[in-house]
Chain A
Amino acid sequence: MRSFSFAVRDTVRLIRRSPGISGLTFLTVLVVFFFVGCSFLLALNTRHVISVVEGELVVQAYLQPKADLGGLAKKVEKMPHVTGVRPISPEQALELLKARLGNQSAAVTLLGENPLPASLEVRVDKASSVSGIARELVAMPEVEDVVYAGKVAEKLARLSRFAEVFSLFLLVFAGLAGALVLYNTIRVAIYSRKQEIEVMLLVGAMPGFVALPFVLLGLFWGLTGTIAASAVLGVLYKSFVASVQNTLPFIQLVDSPQLYLKLALVLIGGGISLSWLCSWVAVEKHIAEAMKPS
């Protein structure tokens, strides 16, 4: 407890003693985590757009004339990766056809008896699941034929995989860049107190005691910088979403209170963890070097 109160006082002293470095570090953390947040939003929106397109993909299963439409719909609904099933009776199919033909719908009467089969419109969770679902459907005895956009689904699946890898890479890269900046900033702070650390170690201070103020300093910078980054990013993203909705209404960006909460949690949580890790590694490395007898 004594060590902790000393460390807190020492941390405050360090912040006060060099307001220039403290301010610059705060700005650096803010900017770095602003870009981490941008990467997070970019990744999130890329995946959102792709999942919206994937959600539009349907597998159309045409049934045998005497198949039980309702029963089969329930059965298909329980299949994995299926997000929705819409049963279409022959009568509904005819109505849909008429609607599609518009003012030429009268031509349908030439058909006489309704020749259209009952069908199921099956929606799946992601593009990569489409082929598997189609195969399972076609294997069912009640299903006569299956129609789906195989090539589009394949391309979309590839795009989705790429987006996943890309967003992961982007986040890891942004996180690493942030860690590197934090690590070096804390090293500068440590360097500016090199003599003090040496004297403390020479008089027998425990390494943990010497390290604590720097770890607290790192946490302080990480916390304040990421809170500010979350606030700035939140405000800018909200206005960006509003302007996109006005100019390009067909693009749907993610925008919900949960998103802002998630963004703040990711940035602040990431900032605290990274700053703790970086400051601990930086100061521990310095202490190990200082304590190593030559």
Chain B
Amino acid sequence: MEIRMAGVTKTFGEDITALEDVFLNVPKGDFVYLVGPTGSGKTTLLRILNRELLPTRGQVFVGEYNLRKLRRTRVCQYRRAVGMVFQDYRLLEDRTALENVAFVLEAVGASRKEAIDRAGEVLDCVGMWRRRFLYPRELSGGEQQRVSIARSIANDPLLLLCDEPTGNLDPQTAGEIMQLLLSINASGTTLIMATHNRYLVDAYRQRVVELKMGRIVRDQERGRYEVDEEL
């Protein structure tokens, strides 16, 4: 899914500007890191793309969808094409890993059997098949994040939004998650990942968009976490 943001500004209340005059184009199938200090607007940008927030000014197009003018039923259609990985996983505590993934599939119209089969497949993809009957409280942070990723890719989304998916993980697990996201991106899914993980950004070089005080201050192909001195 292609993303086009033009002059996007988002303010909260009268004096908090989370994003200011953001212009961003992301071609279909691209992988983009969103970097920047806390409060720079990364999560706001992702939430706008997930249509949880509306921009105060500016236009946002994702594929065929104009996010400013979506009706309720179109929002549902849009969200079926978008996966979101949350920093805090947002898994349902009273459901097993398998049920956490299957329930979103049932929620979008799959039969019970189809949902269970597909959930098993994606859990296998993220290396969680053997732990599919465990509840979130019985899983480590990395495992919960894997289940969260499995849930977000179960619908075969065209756009995957990841908000600090490795935020609570050790370097090795973070690396594994990163490999997983790259393989999802390789299958054609556009991927936007907000991160503070300097090591990952530098190790797996992709396009880097840096935000500061709500503005894009750098947009660099195959960039590093910080400004690449070599360029």
Query: Which positions in A face B, CB cutoff 8 Å?
Result: 2-3, 5-6, 17, 195-196, 198-207, 209-210, 291, 293-294
Contacts of A196 in B (CB 8 A): 92
Interface size of B as a range: 20 to 34
Query: Nearest 7 A-B pairs (CB), nearest first?
Result: A204-B80, A205-B107, A204-B79, A203-B104, A293-B54, A204-B76, A200-B107
A199 touches B52 (CB 8 A): no
Query: Which of A3, A6, A202 has the most CB atoms of chain B within a 10 A radius of its CB?
Result: A202
B53-92 vs A, Cβ < 8 Å mask (1 yes, 0 no) = 1100000000000000000110111111110100000101
B206 interface contact, C-beta 8 A: no
A294 touches B54 (CB 8 A): yes
| Distance between A103 CB and nearest chain B CB, rounded to angstroms | 88
Can you name the residue of chain A whose Cβ is closest to the Cβ of B10? A294
A291 touches B92 (CB 8 A): no
A–B Cβ pairs within 8 angstroms, 12 of them:
A3-B109, A6-B106, A195-B92, A196-B92, A198-B90, A200-B107, A202-B84, A203-B104, A204-B77, A204-B78, A206-B73, A206-B76
A195 touches B90 (CB 8 A): yes
Main secondary structure, interface of A, reads helix
Contacts of B109 in A (CB 8 A): 2-3
A17 touches B155 (CB 8 A): no
| Distance between B122 CB and nearest chain A CB, rounded to angstroms | 13
With A6-B106, A196-B92, A200-B104 in contact, do A205 and B76 touch (Cβ < 8 Å)?
yes
Contacts of B90 in A (CB 8 A): 195, 198-199
Extra 8 A-B pairs, beta carbons < 8 Å, given A200-B103, A203-B155, A209-B107: A2-B111, A198-B90, A200-B104, A201-B79, A202-B50, A204-B82, A204-B155, A206-B73
